[in-house]
Amino acid sequence: MDLQLEGKRVLVTGASKGIGLAVVRAFLAEGATVVATARKSTPELAVTDAVFVPADLSTADGPATLVETVLARDPRLDVLVNNAGGGDERPEGMFADPFSGDDDLWSSVFALNLNAAVRTTRAALPALTQARGAVVNVSSSSARDPHTAPLPYAAAKAALNAFTRGLAEATGGAGVRINAVTPGATRTDLLVGPDGLAASMAANLGVDRSAVVAALPEQLGMVTGDLIDPSEIARAVVLLSSPAMPSAIGSNWAVHGGQLKSA
């Protein structure tokens, strides 16, 4: 299948590892030109053909400065992938706290998981409108099943889903397609890394992190018996970005291995 992405210019946020890095690789494989951004690069990103532009998208002016820098190099922009996200360091006792953190933590999680996408999309929208391009926001299954992640993160991703659907209605007439991908439990540092959610759960339970990681698929109800590889999420992102999918507007594609039980 020709996804009509060869020569397209793509901006991927949160691109240094995990899903973001997989998305970068997938677009490059389709012949697209990729600008990748994160707070800092990684050796894995550096060996790709992506152009790296550092940015902290959790700040108020970070997204606009990023887009300005990217468009100054080349005013074309066909696709924006808002993948930057995560939950910064979680406080001790998060499992005993029904709010999973204080105001400062909630603000920081929303800044990265919601505000960064809103601000980056706002800054990029004129260029995307000119290109009749696409935006794909990377959400999380915890938005629909919020007990599976810290509450600030789940709530921020739920807000991202609403933003995606609402903006899709507002921009569809201008030819800009806005969609989301909702990954289930994916093998990323956010979940299984040394400082990830599995490590926090292991410390709380007094068990080894590897034991928690091994048990996660069954505990989460994944019928595949395995965590999702980031490359599979990347394929969904690339397909939603493709001009070959002109009627995909306001969609939210869940790739969750059977984790989500509601229709």
**Pair type for strands 79-82 and 252-255:** unpaired
- Reduce the DSSP state of residue 149 to 3 states and report it: coil
Instruction: Give counts: helices (H), strands (E), the chain.
Output: 10, 7
Q: Are 42 and 14 in contact (CB under 8 A)?
A: no
Active-site entry in 52, 153, 163, 253? 153
Residue whose structure tokens are 């909702």:
182
Whole-number Å distance between alpha carbons of 255 and 246: 20
Name the burial class of residue 251, with classes exposed (0-12), middle (13-18) and buried (19+) by CB atoms within 10 angstroms of its CB: middle
164 half-sphere exposure, CB direction, 13 A CA radius: 31
Amino acid code (one letter) for 222: M
**Cα 148 from chain centroid?**
17
How many other C-beta atoms lie within 10 A of the C-beta of residue 37? 29
Cα 55 to Cα 133: distance, rounded to the nearest angstrom: 22
106 as an active site residue: the answer is no
Q: Is 192 helix (H, G, I), strand (E, B) or coil?
A: helix
As beta bridge partners, residue 178 has 135
Task: Show which residues are catalytic.
Answer: 153
